[in-house]
Amino acid sequence: MAWDFSTDPEFQEQLDWVEQFCREEVEPLELVFPYAVRMRDPKMKALVDPLRDQVKARGLWAIFLDEELGGPGFGQLKLALLNEIIGRYGSAPAIFGCQAPDTGNMEMLAAYGTDEQKERWLTPLMNQEIWSAYSMTEPQGGSDPNLFVTHAVRDGEQWVINGEKWFTSAGRYADILFVMCTNGMFVVPRDSPGVEIMDQPRSHDHIIYNEVRVPLDHLLGPEDGAKVLAQRRLGGGRIHHAMRAIAQCKRAFDMMCERALSRESHGKIIAEHQMVQSAVADSYAEINMLRLLVLWTAWTIDNSSTQEARTQIAACKYTAAKVLKDVAYRAIHIFGSLGVTDLTPLQAMWAGSPAMSVMDGVDEVHKVTVARNVLKGYQPHDGFWPTDYFPAKRAEARKKFSDAMAADPDLVKYADYMERRSSGRA
């Protein structure tokens, strides 16, 4: 039986390097030049590319992809440990070639794309020569594919797409859009005629596809295979969100603890107040419970598949959003008025937690998934009484000692006395 919570020394050296690299190189870049990682300006690229080169030299580029798909093949467990660090910094995922929403789209291309499609889109995505977005949810149906109406019709050597998509994250900044239709998954260049991006919302775009035409080879995977591709993409995406959420939770927790030891109130350091101690203790326990759940899920994926771990992934998804919300909220209160400003990351963390609870399917849907899958492992009890109904269990247990009790009346007396006592009749 293998049961180990340690990290092998060689990989721990990598983690130590990543932590120092992000603190000394990535964070200063994003503080002075926000969004530089996605800019094509040569001056910005001159700042960003040397950092990417360092990551590639360490063998840490595109860490989410398996070897057969073109990545380093670390597996999900090592990826989780890395994400606990790089998830603290908004620019770090792009520096490491594992930024959302491109990661899930690259996984779909790697798994289902033809050689020509991989050359056309996957390689440029991995090299960050282009960017992508995932256009799935719809205004009338949310993330339920059974309610989608966006559809593609074949017209000669083209597909014609009509429909409306809501919450296409980073859609206006993407070069290609992965559009989920009722009859397939299609790769659509953003500048295609008929792609209409609404003014609002800004980060998660509302896009109308009005007679959008793409060549036949822009269908990814089999016709009518969109649901299969979506599950492949979203399963990995959900666990990766949870991995990065741990990093955000730990960052808020570190800030909370530092602040608690640095400020005074009513004549003593606020860390000495019981309400603050309660916030620290609850946050510590919740973060570590989430972390163990995520690492266990990552280990399960490595030893089976995303499909086999779907119940755990769903539990990670809604637990991560809740823990981030609660920890950030406590940290804000310990910071006081400073916590509700934009002068620290806390306000953005707390405000971002509702988005996490609806991205990739609302939390309520995932709770239903967990409950249904868990309940499949149980059976209803027979008769009126539950399996752990003491009178029935005790009567069955007495049969085990029937020979001994038949030979010794004192055992019968003692057993009878204890039964009366347990029922309040002694």
Task: Give the model's pLDDT for residue 138.
Answer: 95
User: Where does the pLDDT of residue 202 fall: very low under 50, low under 70, confident under 90, or very high at 90 and above?
Assistant: confident
The enclosing H or E element of 86 equals helix 76-86
Closest of 63, 52, 51 to residue 11, by C-alpha: 63
Q: What is the DSSP string of 321-354?
A: HHHHHHHHHHHHHHHGGGGGSSSSSHHHHHHHHH
**How do strand 204-215 and strand 158-169 relate by DSSP bridges?**
antiparallel
Do 268 and 143 form a contact (C-beta atoms < 8 A)?
A: no
User: Where does the pLDDT of residue 348 fall: very low under 50, low under 70, confident under 90, or very high at 90 and above?
Assistant: very high
Least confident residue range of 187-196, 353-362, 382-391? 353-362
Distance between CA atoms of residues 210 and 179, nearest Å:
13
Q: Where are the domains of the chain?
A: 9-113, 132-220, 227-375, 390-422
Strand 219-220: give its sheet, edge to edge.
Answer: 132-135, 176-181, 184-189, 219-220
Task: Give the model's pLDDT for residue 65.
Answer: 81
Task: Give the model's pLDDT for residue 283.
Answer: 98
Task: Give the model's pLDDT for residue 1.
Answer: 67
- pLDDT of 411 higher than 70: yes
Distance between CA atoms of residues 160 and 177, nearest Å:
15
Q: Which of 107-111, 352-356, 373-377 has the highest mean pLDDT?
A: 373-377
- The count of other CB atoms within 10 Å of the CB of residue 356 is 22
Task: Give the model's pLDDT for residue 426.
Answer: 60
Mean pLDDT of 11-15: 96
The enclosing H or E element of 363 equals helix 363-375
Q: Which CATH superfamily is domain 132-220 in?
A: Butyryl-CoA Dehydrogenase, subunit A, domain 2 (2.40.110.10)
Instruction: Identify the architecture of domain 227-375 in CATH.
Output: Up-down Bundle (1.20)
Token pair 């603190």: residue: 23
Structure-block tokens of residue 24:
């000394």
Task: Give the model's pLDDT for residue 367.
Answer: 95
Token pair 């149980």: residue: 378
Which fold would CATH assign to domain 9-113?
A: Butyryl-Coa Dehydrogenase, subunit A; domain 1 (1.10.540)
Which pLDDT tens digit goes with each residue over 114-123? 999 999 999 9
- In percent, the amount of the chain with pLDDT more than 70 equals 99
Distance between CA atoms of residues 54 and 58, nearest Å:
6
Task: Give the model's pLDDT for residue 164.
Answer: 97
The number of residues in the chain equals: 426
The enclosing H or E element of 314 equals helix 310-335
- 48 CB-contact burial (10 Å; exposed 0-12 / middle 13-18 / buried 19+): buried
Give phi and psi for 7, each to the nearest 5.
-110, 135
Query: Which residues, in sequence order, are bridge partners of residue 212?
Result: 161
Task: Give the model's pLDDT for residue 238.
Answer: 86
Least confident residue range of 10-24, 228-242, 252-266, 369-383? 228-242
Which pLDDT tens digit goes with each residue over 220-240? 999 999 999 988 787 778 889
Mean pLDDT of 344-368: 90
Task: Give the model's pLDDT for residue 423.
Answer: 79
3-state helix, strand, coil in the chain (%, to 5): 60, 15, 30
Give phi and psi for 107, each to the nearest 5.
-65, -40
Do 63 and 79 form a contact (C-beta atoms < 8 A)?
A: yes
The enclosing H or E element of 412 equals helix 409-422
Task: Give the model's pLDDT for residue 362.
Answer: 85
How high does pLDDT run on average in the chain? 94
Task: Give the model's pLDDT for residue 357.
Answer: 86
Instruction: Tell which wins on pLDDT, 141 or 327.
Output: 327
Torsion, CA 324, CA 326, CA 328, CA 334, rounded to 10 = -160
User: Where does the pLDDT of residue 135 fall: very low under 50, low under 70, confident under 90, or very high at 90 and above?
Assistant: very high
- 65 CB-contact burial (10 Å; exposed 0-12 / middle 13-18 / buried 19+): buried
Mean pLDDT of 375-379: 96
Distance between CA atoms of residues 352 and 282, nearest Å:
21
Distance between CA atoms of residues 21 and 313, nearest Å:
29
User: Where does the pLDDT of residue 279 fall: very low under 50, low under 70, confident under 90, or very high at 90 and above?
Assistant: very high
Taking each helix axis as running N to C, give the angle between helix 346-358 and helix 226-260, from 0 to 180 degrees, rounded to the nearest 10.
Answer: 150
